[in-house]
Amino acid sequence: MRAFELTAPTTLDEALTSGATALAGGTTLVDLMKLDVLTPPRVVDINALPLRGIEVDPAGDLRIGALERMSAVAAHPQVYPVISRALLLSASQQLRNMASIGGNLMQRTRCGYFRDVAMPCNRRDPGSGCPAIEGANRMHAVLGTSDACVATHASDLAVALVALDARIELVSTQGGRSVALADFYRLPGDTPEREHDLRPGELIGEIVVPRLDWAARSTYVKVRDRQSYEFALCSVAVALDVRDGRVADVRIAAGGVGTVPWRLTAVEAALRGGPADEAAFEAAAQVAADGARPLSHNGYKTALLPRTVVRALLEVSRG
Amino acid sequence: MDITLEVNGETRHLSIDPRVTLLDALRERLGITGPKKGCDRGQCGACTVHVDGRPVLACLTLAATVREPVRTVEGLAADGRPHPVQQAFAEQDALQCGFCTSGQVMSAVAAVEQEVADVREFMSGNLCRCAAYPNIVAAVEQARSTKESADARV
Ligand SMILES: Cc1cc2nc3c(=O)[nH]c(=O)nc-3n(C[C@H](O)[C@H](O)[C@H](O)COP(=O)(O)OP(=O)(O)OC[C@H]3O[C@@H](n4cnc5c(N)ncnc54)[C@H](O)[C@@H]3O)c2cc1C
Ligand code: SF4
Ligand code: FES
Ligand code: FES
């Protein structure tokens, strides 16, 4: 690990003007600093900042402070099942006790080349190349990829939040701004090193999940190599509103398959108004992987994605 | 920088570089070697300790950021008697080489305290190279039923 200067301010102003890299739970940052993937000269421990609290506001929106731990959010009774499930299927109980939800949304890809400074990687070292495209790409993305980068976004929480149209409130000394989480993440394109829309001097302050009463009927299905403590090969977040046997409304997003959390709007449109049964779910899921660009070792994901969508829909419609 | 840690009920003062992890501070500076360095990357659970009563990974925690009390496996026994979870690990033969054991025990203590429904899921962040898993699960379950019967008596 490279040497760095560490401060721990107690006010937002001090943190926002520090120009230093934020440290929350450290489960991404300290890991990548040990690997020399990240070498910040200055680090600001933000844990004493007032970015906490989990509450439902008067409008019925759920507001969660960025420093709340994954374990605390998962256990909170007013958090929608799809969010709790996504968190409880993430990492391990120790990591969930450490990691903040703001840090979770800012975590970096698990692409093995990105994590190994001996290898080229466009995301870590722009212009150096992408060995994954011809290399070990079994875990990599099939949707939203470019010739520069094919890495997946690794957060399970982000998939659940994108399905629910969540926003993030960004704080800075210039005031605040509110961004839809789906717009916050950038496709890699020619600039995979630009992963998101956070500007220098900004922090994620709060996550806001708009009121959606029927999201009480929601779930998260995660398919992975091990039953527990593993990243997704494919995951699906679903919220489903069934009335009189028909799909009144539905929200679906997928993880493990895209370079960003992947909203499945075409599947949602195919389901809306139709019967809430297995045949209709299977028919609608056929468009889930439309536009997929499989690589040498991850073609299975184009088949796994529609199947995971069907499983998630069946689970939530029976549940 | 100068820091103060509260470890197993004792206040300790240290002068460290910000790079020092809680794991290295405990093992190399304070001589508390119960927490083990398996992967040093947050992947194996051998370094699990409690901070403010919750299991965390000491290898991904910078010592200078720790504000709350730390408890390691050395702090579990009371009055010279092993903690019920330690007793259960011994009785169920829940170890082979023992390298993962202090981390397993720290997670197991939390599993029993939180009365978790799914022991295997809760313990999945603690890898065991010797694959003593069946006996580890049996030990957690034994400790849980010991606690339940103790709770029923009060
Ligand atoms: C072994 C292992 C397994 C894992 N498995 C999973 C999994 O299955 N699913 C999953 O989703 N995740 C998984 N993770 C990732 C884990 O969830 C993230 O590392 C964690 O959520 C990051 O949160 P943190 O608070 O520790 O962030 P930190 O490491 O403190 O910070 C991460 C990044 O976010 C920035 N940051 C932090 N807070 C803010 C803020 N408020 N505003 C702006 N920027 C901020 C930091 O500057 C840094 O760049 C795993 C991690 C490990 C080590
Ligand atoms: S897939 Fe992206 S992160 Fe992985 S090596 Fe290629 S450029 Fe780097
Ligand atoms: S040594 Fe900390 S998790 Fe392996
Ligand atoms: S007993 Fe040897 S690693 Fe677990």
The overall average pLDDT reported for chain B is: 96
Domain boundary among B46, B75, B104: B75
User: Quick one: B10 and B51 in the same domain?
Assistant: yes
Residues of A in contact with B54 (CB under 8 A): 71, 97
Q: Which tokens hold the place of A178?
A: 């509110």
CA distance A208 to chain B (A): 27
What's the pLDDT at B152? 76
DSSP alpha helices (H): ranges in A186-288? 265-271, 278-285
State the residue range of the domain holding B114: 84-152
Segment A4-30 mean pLDDT: 97
A6 touches chain B (CB under 8 A): yes
Segment B42-51 mean pLDDT: 98
Domain boundary among B75, B96, B112: B75
Nearest to A104, CA basis, from A261, A219, A252: A261
User: Quick one: B30 and B89 in the same domain?
Assistant: no
Segment A284-296 mean pLDDT: 98
Contact A59, A212 (CB under 8 A): no
CA of A23 to the centre of ligand 1 (A): 10
pLDDT single digits (tens) A64-119: 999 999 999 999 999 999 999 999 999 999 999 999 999 999 999 999 999 999 99
User: Quick one: B71 and B6 in the same domain?
Assistant: yes
Residues of A in contact with B19 (CB under 8 A): 1, 3-4
Distance CA A318, CA B106 (A): 38
CATH of the domain at B29: 3.10.20.30
Nearest to A49, CA basis, from A24, A73, A30: A24
Domain boundary among B20, B54, B75: B75
Q: Length of chain B in residues, anyone?
A: 154
In angstroms, the Cα distances linking B3 to A293, B13, B25 are 52, 6, 11
CATH of the domain at B106: 1.10.150.120
pTM above 0.90, yes or no: yes
B97: DSSP letter:
S
Segment A194-215 mean pLDDT: 97
CA distance A26 to chain B (A): 6
Whether residue A319 has pLDDT greater than 80: no
Q: How many domains does chain B have?
A: 2
Distance CA B22, CA B20 (A): 7
User: Quick one: B65 and B102 in the same domain?
Assistant: no
Nearest to A5, CA basis, from A29, A21, A26, A17: A21
Strand partners, A220: A237
Within 8 A by CB and 6+ apart from A176, the residues are A169, A170, A205
Residue A81's CB is within 10 A of a number of other CB atoms, namely: 17
B154 band by pLDDT with thresholds 50, 70 and 90: low
Residue A16's CB is within 10 A of a number of other CB atoms, namely: 20
User: Quick one: B6 and B47 in the same domain?
Assistant: yes
In angstroms, the Cα distances linking A144 to A29, A147, A310 are 25, 10, 22
Instruction: Report the SS3 class of residue A143.
Output: strand
Whether residue B13 has pLDDT greater than 80: yes
Distance CA A59, CA A61 (A): 6
What's the pLDDT at A122? 98
Distance CA A225, CA A254 (A): 17
Range with the poorest average pLDDT among A55-69, A143-157, B135-149: B135-149
Distance CA B128, CA A103 (A): 28
Whether residue B124 has pLDDT greater than 90: yes
Nearest to A204, CA basis, from A250, A172, A182, A230: A172
pLDDT single digits (tens) A236-275: 999 999 999 999 999 999 999 999 999 999 999 999 999 9
Residues of B in contact with A23 (CB under 8 A): 62, 65
Cβ of B94 below 6 Å from ligand 4:
no
B148 band by pLDDT with thresholds 50, 70 and 90: confident
pLDDT single digits (tens) A32-63: 999 999 999 999 999 999 999 999 999 999 99
Cβ–Cβ of B125/A91 closer than 8 Å? Answer: yes
Q: A62-65 and A167-172 as β-strands: parallel, antiparallel, unpaired?
A: unpaired
B18 touches chain A (CB under 8 A): yes
Cβ of A159 below 6 Å from ligand 1:
no
pLDDT single digits (tens) B84-95: 999 999 999 999
What is the set of domains in chain A, with CATH numbers? 1-50 (3.30.43.10), 215-318 (3.30.390.50)
Distance CA B133, CA B94 (A): 8
What's the pLDDT at B5? 98
User: Quick one: B58 and B36 in the same domain?
Assistant: yes
User: Quick one: B71 and B95 in the same domain?
Assistant: no
Q: Which tokens hold the place of A116?
A: 């190994």
Whether residue A137 has pLDDT greater than 90: yes
